[in-house]
């Protein structure tokens, strides 16, 4: 439900949470003051400070696209698949995690050999995508890798009685290179045009119908598809690991959603570019995935198509503490005890893992309560084991 509406800017900011930290709130106001922003800004219940635009923000624009309103990890999102298993032992979980870590590089690591090109996006003439073609060979070593930060692999038990696999990852370095290139170009051009969008707001834009605006959209689309391929390959590798350990295990078709992208959509009778940065599409009947923090439940959901959120919902729990702050203030023993009392095979080992500890994130229960008008919960998933980047 909408908890707060800010009306001090050119268009309103509608918030699905009571309060927002001061920096994120100012970022939301900056969005609302853009001359090409349309109707209102939607802030999801997991929102927090981002770069230029709050994570958990939805921005609709007319005639302009903003690289920073998509972000550096273009196409980052979730993939989840249900198995036919009703239970899995702790010993099998431990063996599975070891096999997964052997097959899927994490953090800054990548495959030592190029992966099969069949795992790369199809339907593109890569020669017409300057940054993606430049990064193509490196991407062949990165497809099927987890990355770092808040990316994860989880084995979960659903309240539907089945074991699930869930992966959170994005477009790796190729997405970062595309984002950086076009944001720099947008900043350069905005200064050349003496744009009214101040450089300090980190919201430099590209005209939608300009050559460079069209080029960014094509390269962004490729990165969104690459992120999808990346998650699918990891799911395949996890499935193979499970099949080595468990007889007669089978898997349903995966659910896949992205939460960092911009695309053309129609809202309020207008053709718009909708930027979702840490937000997920929630069309009527559309299946989605909302993960909790490490140690808390995740959800398979169905969208309600709420027009006031631009048919969107949250992408997760959302950070409560910055990474450095979490490492500084959280109690390592307390965080480990919390996870172990729940019987979770977790990834918190030392001080530098505290940035991904449970207490670094908002309450997923509160986030889900605040967006009951945006999604319907289909399956609640309890974490059993986790691999972090």
Phi, psi torsion values for 280, nearest 5 degrees? -120, 140
Q: Is 65 helix (H, G, I), strand (E, B) or coil?
A: strand
What span, in angstroms and rounded, lies between the C-alpha atoms of 139 and 137? 5
- The Cβ of residue 337 has, within 10 Å, a number of other Cβ atoms equal to 11
Longest C-alpha distance within the chain, in Å?
65
Active-site residue, from 40, 259, 315, 346: 315
Which tokens belong to 212? 């460079």
Domains of the chain: 4-320+361-388 (3.90.1860.10)
What span, in angstroms and rounded, lies between the C-alpha atoms of 137 and 117? 10
What strands lie across the sheet with 152-158, from one edge to the other? 255-258, 77-82, 163-169, 152-158, 375-388, 298-303, 287-290
- 271 forms beta bridges with 266
The yes-or-no answer on residue 259 being catalytic is: no
Angle between helix 211-245 and helix 130-142 axes, rounded to 10 deg: 10
Which tokens belong to 195? 């744009």
User: Would you write out the chain's pLDDT as a tens digit for each of its 389 residues?
Assistant: 999 999 999 999 999 999 999 999 999 999 999 999 999 999 999 999 999 999 999 999 999 999 999 999 999 999 999 999 999 999 999 999 999 999 999 999 999 999 999 999 999 999 999 999 999 999 999 999 999 999 999 999 999 999 999 999 999 999 999 999 999 999 999 999 999 899 999 999 999 999 999 999 999 999 999 999 999 999 999 999 999 999 999 999 999 999 999 999 999 999 999 999 999 999 999 999 999 998 899 999 999 999 999 999 999 999 999 999 999 999 999 999 999 999 999 888 898 899 999 999 999 999 999 999 999 999 999 999 999 87
Is residue 168 within 8 Å of 291, Cβ to Cβ?
yes
Residue pLDDT, tens place only, 88-123? 999 999 999 999 999 999 999 999 999 999 999 999
Length of the chain: 389
What span, in angstroms and rounded, lies between the C-alpha atoms of 155 and 273? 35
What span, in angstroms and rounded, lies between the C-alpha atoms of 15 and 127? 42
């Amino acid at each position: 439900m909408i908890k707060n509406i800010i009306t001090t800017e050119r268009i309103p900011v509608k918030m699905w949470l009571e309060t927002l930290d001061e920096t994120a709130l100012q970022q939301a106001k900056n969005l609302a003051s853009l001359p090409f922003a349309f109707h209102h800004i939607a802030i999801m219940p997991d929102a927090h400070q981002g770069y230029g635009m709050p994570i958990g923000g939805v921005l609709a624009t007319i005639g302009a696209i903003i690289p920073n309103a998509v972000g550096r990890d273009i196409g980052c999102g979730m993939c989840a698949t249900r198995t036919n298993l009703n239970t899995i032992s702790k010993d099998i979980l431990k063996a599975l995690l070891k096999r997964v870590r052997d097959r899927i590089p994490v953090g800054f690591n990548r495959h030592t050999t190029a992966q099969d090109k069949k795992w790369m996006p199809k339907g593109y003439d890569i020669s017409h995508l300057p940054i993606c073609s430049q990064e193509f060979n490196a991407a062949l070593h990165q497809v099927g890798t987890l990355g770092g930060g808040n990316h994860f692999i989880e084995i979960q038990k659903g309240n539907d009685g089945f074991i699930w696999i869930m992966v959170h990852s994005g477009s790796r370095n190729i997405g970062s290179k595309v984002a950086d290139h076009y944001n720099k170009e947008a900043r350069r051009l905005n200064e050349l045009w003496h744009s009214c969008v101040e450089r300090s707001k980190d919201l430099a834009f590209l005209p939608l119908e300009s050559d460079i605006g069209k080029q960014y959209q094509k390269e962004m689309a490729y990165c969104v598809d690459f992120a999808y391929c990346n998650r699918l390959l990891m799911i395949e590798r996890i499935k193979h690991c499970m099949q080595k350990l468990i007889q007669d295990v089978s898997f349903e078709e995966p659910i896949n959603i992205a939460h960092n992208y911009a695309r053309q959509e129609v809202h309020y009778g207008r053709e718009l570019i909708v930027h979702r940065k840490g937000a997920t599409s929630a069309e009527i009947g559309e299946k989605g995935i909302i993960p909790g923090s490490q140690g808390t439940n995740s959800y398979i959901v169905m969208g309600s198509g709420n027009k006031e959120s631009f048919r969107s919902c949250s992408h997760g729990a959302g950070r409560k503490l910055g990474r450095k702050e979490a490492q500084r203030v959280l109690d390592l023993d307390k965080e480990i005890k919390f996870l172990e009392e729940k019987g979770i095979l977790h990834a918190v080992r030392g001080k530098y893992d505290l940035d991904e500890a449970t207490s670094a994130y908002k309450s997923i229960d509160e986030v889900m309560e605040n967006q009951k008008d945006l999604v319907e919960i289909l399956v609640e998933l309890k974490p059993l084991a986790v691999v972090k980047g």
